[in-house]
Amino acid sequence: MAYNEQLAARVRKVLSRRKGFAEKKMFGGICFLLSGNMCCGVTSRELMLRLGPEGAAKALEEPHTKKMDFTGRPMKSMIFVKPAGYKTDEDLRSWVGRAARFASSLPAK
């Protein structure tokens, strides 16, 4: 299993009714898009969120978060949330909602 399929199903449940919802395999996991813009994704254990530079910097002040870094160069607009941070459905909806608001603020592709 390349990504956490249970977490992906939980994220899918939160996002699937939104306009322009799509899925794409990326970053060694699965990503969820809204109107062609990456919103969030799932890796083997972590929730990946696109929050924009300001949103990501603010989110990194919260528990259970870390910089998204695959290559030694952190991505300034994206973060990871560790499993303890999305344990409850309410926590997951909150995180995914933040990413959806950011993705929805971008022009459709």
Summarize pLDDT for 75-107 with one digit per residue, the tens.
999 999 999 999 999 999 999 999 999 999 999
Domains and CATH numbers, the chain: 5-104 (3.90.1150.30)
Eight-state DSSP code of residue 58: H
Predicted TM-score (pTM) of this structure: 0.94
State pLDDT tens for residues 32-86: 999 999 999 999 999 999 999 999 999 999 999 999 987 888 899 999 999 999 9
Query: How large is the angle between the packed helices 5-15 and 89-104, nearest 10 degrees?
Result: 60
Give the closest residue to 100 by CA, choosing from 21, 6, 10, 9.
Answer: 21
Contact 38, 50 (CB under 8 A): yes
The C-alpha atoms of residue 101 and residue 20 are separated, in whole angstroms, by 13
Find the helix or strand (DSSP H, E) in which 100 lies: helix 89-104
Contact 60, 74 (CB under 8 A): no
